[in-house]
A and B are shown apart, each in its own frame.
Chain A
């Protein structure tokens, strides 16, 4: 069974701080996506990474795909209360179209 472990599970920080969320697996993925989910809503796609070592930036968010395409990280610079939410990583195994979801990281940014 392919698993995606996210760490930390919970994170509470002050506005302006930086943070990194990790997504790790022993499996190789063809692509990996990061989502943010608010209560009562579906996951909202933030980014998709495809190439090993790829780095993508979305304003204050930086996403990196591991060289071996087994892990990924999400770094937020100068976190704001609006960043509060559940962050999910999801990897697509080679030869399939489905995504395996991580366990999630619940972030709370305090003003």
Chain B
């Protein structure tokens, strides 16, 4: 079974530009999460989709971040316009709806560098 995949693995952009990150969850997983780790800090929750609906977006830092999950399959996270403090590693995770423990499986992450 394929795991969670993310694209691109690395992205270097200039301040003010736009970047779109993509996440493909494990097939059959209704729950999809975005997290990020900025330099020297712990991994922090950004938002949670159940299928195509946003269940919890309490961790989104500001309105420069837009997440979508059209059709309830893959998800994109767009940062527009990017700022220096957006640099970090963005992780996607997915879990199966039926699990009571909501075990989350992570992708390899996208390392974003804003210069």
Contact = CB atoms under 8 A, between A and B. Distances in A.
A28 to B, nearest CB: 15
Interface string A80-110: 0000000010101000111111111000000
Contacts of A42: 4, 6, 91, 93, 106-109
Contact of A31 (B101, B106, B108): B101
Contacts of B109: 41-42
Contacts of B55: 97
B101 A98 contact: no
A44 B56 contact: no
Interface residues of B, number: 26
Interface stretch (B14-22, B43-51, B66-74, B75-83): B43-51
B103 A45 contact: yes
Interface in B60-115: 91, 93, 95, 100-109
Contact of A43 (B56, B100, B106): B106
| B4, B44, B91, B106: most-surrounded residue (chain A CB, <10 A) | B106
| A35, A97, A98, A99: most-surrounded residue (chain B CB, <10 A) | A98
Interface residues of A, number: 24
Given A43-B106, A98-B48, A50 B42 contact: no
A98 B55 CA distance: 10
Given A97-B55, A99-B45, A102-B42, A45 B102 contact: no
Contacts of B103: 33, 45, 48
B56 A97 contact: yes
A43 B31 CA distance: 17
Contacts of A88: 43
B43 A48 contact: no
A92 B101 CA distance: 9
A45 B101 contact: no
B48 A44 contact: no
B8 interface: no
B45 A43 contact: no
Q: Top 8 closest A-B pairs, CB basis?
A: A42-B106, A101-B43, A98-B45, A31-B101, A42-B108, A101-B42, A48-B101, A43-B106
